[in-house]
Amino acid sequence: MTDLIRDVSEQHFAGLIEALDSILDGDRAAEELIVIGQRSVPYLEQYLLGGLPRSLPLPRRRAVRALGELGAWSVLLRYFRQYRRPEDAAVLFAEDSVRSSAAQELMRWKSDDVYQALLEACRQRATSGLVLALGEFRQRESVPLFFAVLEDDLCREEAKAALRKIPDAARQYAILSVRGKVRAGLYELSALSRRRATLQLLHEFGLTAEEWSDLRYFLQDPDTEVVIATAQIGFQVAPVHDYPDIAKALFRISSHLNWAQEDDVCRFLDDHGDIARELGRALVRERKSRGEHPNWLKSDWRVLKHILKSELENGN
């Protein structure tokens, strides 16, 4: 076998590289290139760095995997450093997959060079694999980038997972973002997903009673998820005299809840039943004074019935 590997011809290498594009033989070709060893690296390098991105990512991902198995981390670093964003959308998303694979391969070498290359690549264009790879370094320097990525639908969960690996730094940055002290703001119209995710993370990380005052503003947010997350935190750390305002915020959004949110709102209000019943009775009186009748198809009326129970039973 060793003699056969040593005697591999240029023509055979060319055939293996060409076969990377094959649906049937591509994986076999990649495996053979790995078995041949270091002599394969220049051919794989030329294929990856010399070829253009395309709409089918699998062949280039095979080359990336082979380079990773062969320890060619310097080639993968050059791949990131020469990245140019494709203009065609199909090619762009295909190359995102290749970049994610390259980031995962580079995780074999947790050096500062690798970290800096991945950080810069993620700043250029984040992918799920890049964010996951950066998260494994657990570096505070990555935190602002991860919070910015929370607005990306394709990488949000990976960014949250990465932030959970460095909870102290992530918590500090989240508080600063609530206070409007960082670049990745929470208050712009375009920052809804980041706002939701930040509040979810703050609930997981925990807040002090003193920090609650920074979050009270979100009780007035038009988004139901933001209000529910804020209320959940508030009922844990806010002073008791803030509980009525928290309950009012939940009643305010109760007219447009999905079924899961409705369960959450009912549960939170149940935990503070005296306050919720007092507010609920006032809401019912106000609605009846306007001539409004109970409508159990609407979530706000169902919440009121749940809280008041027999007082609104059978639609009375």
Q: What is the mean pLDDT of residues 74-80?
A: 96
Q: Does position 4 have pLDDT exceeding 90, yes or no? A: no
Compare 98 and 296 and report the one with higher pLDDT.
Answer: 98
Q: Does position 220 have pLDDT exceeding 80, yes or no? A: yes
The reported pLDDT for the residue numbered 92 is 97
Q: How far apart are CA 105 and CA 297, in angstroms?
A: 53
The reported pLDDT for the residue numbered 1 is 38
Distance of alpha carbon 279 from the chain centroid: 37
Q: How far apart are CA 278 and CA 280, in angstroms?
A: 5
- Give domain limits for the chain: 1-105
Asked whether the beta carbons of 173 and 182 are under 8 A apart, the reply is yes
Structure tokens at 313: 């039973």
The reported pLDDT for the residue numbered 183 is 79
pLDDT band of residue 198 (cuts 50, 70, 90) is very high
Q: 171-191: per-residue pLDDT in tens? A: 999 999 999 888 777 887 778
The reported pLDDT for the residue numbered 3 is 39
Asked whether the beta carbons of 302 and 296 are under 8 A apart, the reply is yes
26 three-state secondary structure: helix
pLDDT band of residue 313 (cuts 50, 70, 90) is low
CA 119, 125, 129, 132 torsion-angle sign: positive
Compare 185 and 147 and report the one with higher pLDDT.
Answer: 147
Q: How far apart are CA 194 and CA 163, in angstroms?
A: 13
- Length of the chain as a residue count: 316
Distance of alpha carbon 149 from the chain centroid: 7
| Mean of pLDDT over the chain | 92
| 3-state SS track over 98-153 | HHHHHHHHHCCCCCHHHHHHHHHHHHHCCCHHHHHHHHCCCCHHHHHHHHHHCCCC
Q: What is the mean pLDDT of residues 216-234?
A: 95
Q: Does position 134 have pLDDT exceeding 80, yes or no? A: yes
Kindly state the percentage of the chain with pLDDT values over 70.
Answer: 96
The reported pLDDT for the residue numbered 286 is 93
Helix (H), strand (E) counts: the chain: 19, 0
Per-residue b or e along 184-216, where b marks 16 or more CB atoms closer than 10 Å to that residue's CB: bebeeeebbebbbbbbbbbeebebeeebbeebe
Q: 246-293: per-residue pLDDT in tens? A: 999 999 999 999 999 999 999 999 999 999 999 999 999 999 999 998
Q: How far apart are CA 133 and CA 161, in angstroms?
A: 11
Q: 22-49: per-residue pLDDT in tens? A: 999 999 999 999 999 999 999 999 999 9
Q: Does position 6 have pLDDT exceeding 80, yes or no? A: no
pLDDT band of residue 2 (cuts 50, 70, 90) is very low
